[in-house]
Amino acid sequence: MRIFKVLNNNVAVILNEEGQEQIVMGRGICFKKKAGEEIPDEMIDKEFHLSTPEAHNKFRELIQDIPMEHISLGEEIIAEAKKRLGRRLNDMIYISLIDHVHTSILRFLDGITVKNVLLWDIQRFYRDEYKIGLWALDLIEKQCKVRLPEDEAGFIALHLANAQMDEEVMHDMYEITKIMQELINIVKYYFHIDFDEDDVYYYRFITHLKFFAKRLLDHKFYEEDDSDDLWNVIRKKYPESYRCVGRISEFIQKKYGHQLSKEEEIYLTIHIERVINKTGR
């Protein structure tokens, strides 16, 4: 491979066969080398080709100042997450997660730890991602001899949950999770129940809440349509669940300044009715 640009001793930008920039990494691959010179294939440990120019440019800027060990750690966590979750992850995860791993290790070595006040909710809402976060802590300890606190498993889980969103812009999953927790609590206290968190209807409910919270933060909502007939059927058929949605609507209006549409009320009522009937009142 021929060097297009040297980023540091261990990282270079090359042009692939299609003329697109690609980032390659290996210990000492650019030592005493400059643009135009060749890198032996056997010296390259990692290759990165991010699909969007924004992700590629940010990643290229980020890795110039991060140790190769931390980049490899982040990449290994992402690879494990893709395998376990079986889902596509937004390319921005290479920026957010690698930067987080690097920063959290440096913070810990400086004696600084950050409390994750949503850790319990993250464990409930993002179980698979949280398990990967715990696995990542073991990996970091093995490779860097640093045992990060359990709070960091929660932060890693949020990054992974965020990367499963379809859009290129990374969302504030911390804020999304807080909104989900607020709405779950309204339902929980309205019906005086504890949820069966292994139930498929609970999983569908929190998935709906996740994307509702995302729309709320993005100020993107269902447009009003001719839902009057279905809305009338749903509120009569499931009166208690609909009254619970009324509490949610009041809360959303007061705290976030958004009035639920009839379509949003329909979806919330149906999800609540299903999860309540499975849980038992």
Residue 280 has pLDDT above 70, yes or no: no
The pair of three-digit structure tokens given for residue 66, joined into one six-digit string: 């991060």
How many Cβ atoms sit within 10 Å of the Cβ of residue 104? 23
Instruction: Report yes or no: 261 and 224 within 8 Å, Cβ to Cβ.
Output: yes
Q: Please state, in angstroms and rounded to a whole number, the distance separating the CA atoms of residues 184 and 80.
A: 30
Query: Do the strands 46-48 and 21-25 form a parallel or antiparallel pair, or are they unpaired?
Result: antiparallel
CA 171 to chain centre: 8
Dump pLDDT digits (tens) for 48-66: 777 777 777 777 777 778 8
pLDDT at residue 32, as a whole number: 78
Q: What single string gives the DSSP state of each residue in 190-226?
A: HHT----TTSHHHHHHHHHHHHHHHHHHHT--PPP-S
How many helices (DSSP H) and strands (DSSP E) are in the chain? Answer: 11, 4
Q: Which residue has the tokens 């997660």?
A: 97
pLDDT at residue 207, as a whole number: 83
Residue 148 has pLDDT above 90, yes or no: yes
Dump pLDDT digits (tens) for 220-256: 765 555 567 888 888 899 999 999 999 999 999 999 9
How many Cβ atoms sit within 10 Å of the Cβ of residue 208? 18
Dump pLDDT digits (tens) for 66-84: 888 898 899 899 999 999 9
pLDDT category, 168, cuts 50, 70, 90? very low
Q: 39: closest CA among 56, 24, 61?
A: 24
SS3 27: coil
Rounded to a whole number of angstroms, the distance between the first and last alpha carbons of the chain is 65
